[in-house]
Amino acid sequence: MSHLLEVKNLEVNFKTYGGEVKAVRNVSFHIDKGEIVAIVGESGSGKSVTVQTVMGLIPTPPGIIKNGEVLFEGKNLLKLSKREMQKVKGSKISMIFQDPMTSLNPTMKIGKQIEEGLIVHQKLGNTEAKKRAIDMIRLVGIPNPEERYNQYPHEFSGGMRQRAMIAIALACNPELLIADEPTTALDVTIQAQVLDLMRDLKEKTDTAIILITHDLGVVAETAERVIVMYAGMMVESGTVRELFENPRHPYTWGLMESIPDHTSAEKERLVPIEGTPPDLFSPPAGCPFAPRCKYAMEVCLSEMPPAFEIETGHYSRCWLNDPRAPKAEDLVAAGR
Residues of this chain that interact with Mg ion (CB under 5 A) are 48
Number of chain residues interacting with ligand SF4 (CB under 6 A): 14
CA distance 289 to 29: 21
73 Ramachandran zone, left/alpha/beta (phi>0; psi -120 to 50)? left
Rg from Cα positions in the chain: 21
CA distance 280 to 220: 29
Residue whose CB is less far from ligand SF4, 89 or 317: 317
Query: 3-state DSSP call for residue 3?
Result: coil
- Residue 293 as a binder of ligand SF4 (CB under 6 A): the answer is yes
Nearest to 111 by CA among 133, 131, 127, 132: 133
Partner whose binding site includes residue 48, from ligand SF4, Mg ion, none (CB under 5 to 8 Å by kind): Mg ion
Using CB under 6 A, which residues numbered 65 to 84 contact ligand SF4? none
- Residue 296 as a binder of ligand SF4 (CB under 6 A): the answer is yes
Residue whose CB is less far from ligand SF4, 89 or 249: 249
> Shortest Cβ contact with Mg ion: which residue?
48
SS3 annotation, 91-126: HCEEEECCCHHHHCCCCCCHHHHHHHHHHHCCCCCH
Least Å distance between CB 296 and ligand SF4? 4
Residue whose CB is less far from ligand SF4, 232 or 305: 305
- Residue 289 as a binder of ligand SF4 (CB under 6 A): the answer is yes
Least Å distance between CB 243 and ligand SF4? 15
Q: At what angle do helices 158-171 and 188-205 cross, to 10 degrees?
A: 20
CA distance 242 to 237: 9
Least Å distance between CB 314 and ligand SF4? 15
- Residue 318 as a binder of ligand SF4 (CB under 6 A): the answer is yes
Partner whose binding site includes residue 289, from ligand SF4, Mg ion, none (CB under 5 to 8 Å by kind): ligand SF4
- Residue 315 as a binder of ligand SF4 (CB under 6 A): the answer is no
Neighbouring residues of 24: CB distance < 8 A, sequence distance ≥ 6 = 10, 11, 12, 46, 49, 50, 53, 232
Which residues contribute to the site for ligand SF4 (CB under 6 A)? 249-250, 287, 289-290, 293, 295-297, 300, 305, 318-320
